Chain A
């Protein structure tokens, strides 16, 4: 047990983000929100949803890595975050495989 204690939790290498770093992250997120609104208030046709979701993806990445501190997280936390994305992808894939192809069964 003592070996586990020493190897996994031997030092506190967790550092809180500096004020400047926090404000930079916020500025990036605010800029992305402005771009999101600019896309929303214009007509890009079918590209609009792709552009919107791409911006959302970047926002979620910045928020989780910096504000939610994934960058300093251990492997188990990364596994949690990755697992949630993985299971959501499975849910979307199987559900949409049915929904998107259902009309094909009529022929």
Chain B
């Protein structure tokens, strides 16, 4: 109730702006400036990735081949559709369509949440397959030329990745596993940063949905806040457009394999690792 009173009393144009149009331009510029810092933030990670991929192309391809492209493909369209619903929310705000604002904000939140749910499932599958960078070692019995077995210390991660890649039919000869581990560090850091941005985005969208319930976004005074929120959301989508080819499609994959992986992930088919 207090918040509702506050929004009604808030002046549409702050005292330090000449008029509404200047205020709106400034709000847009503020978000664009923030996005510049975000571009440089993600740019650093992509730059490091590029350097190491140029150095270790074979290992990065092998690491990518072990990823779940089925979930990534579906997530691409979920995020793209959420960009559409976010844009439709701007249109609704511009037309002062209060129901439309709430509908499209909610649709964006739902699509983003489904994306995160599937991403969480993907991380869980990676965890089950042991595709987590670690310095842990295990002892395996290795067969010698004379037929006897000798205990050998092996990297836990290397054993797990080799097992997954063999299941995918990927030849691991000449692949240096510690470098594959480096690929997975990039995979978790880059997708993790993207996930954090999505969680923040969904939080902000939920906040806007709450404000929309209170009739906050009246045109022309406050529609611009929906617009700048969508700028952030589109940026998150843009980052994914780079992550998909660089992480998931760096290695060989087939459509059949991706469909199978997705069906297994959502429980429609039994997994090969089970």
Q: Which residues of A contact B (CB under 8 A)?
A: 1, 4-5, 8-9, 11-12, 14, 16-17, 19, 22-23, 25-26, 29-30, 33, 36-37, 39-41, 43, 48-49, 52-53, 55-56, 59-60, 63-64, 67-69, 73-74, 76-77, 80-81, 83-85, 87-88, 91-92, 95-96, 99-100
Contacts of B245 in A (CB 8 A): 36, 39-40, 49, 52-53, 55-56
- The 8 Å CB contact of A12, one of B18, B21, B81, B249, is B21
A52 with B83: CB separation less than 8 A: no
Q: Name the CB-closest residue of B to A22.
A: B87
B25 close to A (CB within 8 Å): yes
B36 with A83: CB separation less than 8 A: yes
Contacts of A95 in B (CB 8 A): 47-48, 50-51
0/1 string, B250-261, CB within 8 A of A gives 1: 101111001000
Name the 8 nearest CB pairs between A and B, nearest first.
A40-B249, A52-B245, A99-B51, A84-B39, A16-B94, A9-B21, A88-B43, A80-B32
Interface residues of B in 114-161 (CB under 8 A from A): none
Interface residue stretch chosen among B72-80, B170-178, B193-201, B202-210 = B72-80
Complex: A73 Cα to B28 Cα, angstroms:
9
- The 8 Å CB contact of A67, one of B18, B29, B51, B234, is B234
B29 with A99: CB separation less than 8 A: no
Q: Name the CB-closest residue of B to A103.
A: B55
Interface residue stretch chosen among B1-9, B184-192, B235-243, B264-272 = B235-243
Contacts of A1 in B (CB 8 A): 18
A100 with B54: CB separation less than 8 A: yes
Complex: A105 Cα to B61 Cα, angstroms:
27
Please give the distance in Å from A58's CB to the nearest CB on chain B.
10
Contacts of B255 in A (CB 8 A): 37, 41
The total of chain B residues at the interface (CB under 8 A) is 57
Take A16-B94, A36-B245 as given contacts and tell me if A5 and B19 are in contact as well, using a CB distance cutoff of 8 Å.
yes
B249 with A67: CB separation less than 8 A: no
B88 close to A (CB within 8 Å): yes
B213 close to A (CB within 8 Å): no
Q: Name the CB-closest residue of B to A23.
A: B84
Complex: A40 Cα to B47 Cα, angstroms:
21
Please give the distance in Å from B5's CB to the nearest CB on chain A.
29
- The 8 Å CB contact of B50, one of A19, A29, A40, A92, is A92
Take A17-B91, A48-B249, A67-B234 as given contacts and tell me if A59 and B40 are in contact as well, using a CB distance cutoff of 8 Å.
no
A19 with B55: CB separation less than 8 A: no
B35 close to A (CB within 8 Å): yes
14 A-B interface contacts by CB (under 8 A) = A17-B91, A19-B88, A22-B88, A30-B77, A40-B244, A48-B249, A56-B245, A68-B235, A84-B39, A87-B36, A87-B40, A88-B47, A95-B50, A96-B54
Complex: A48 Cα to B43 Cα, angstroms:
21
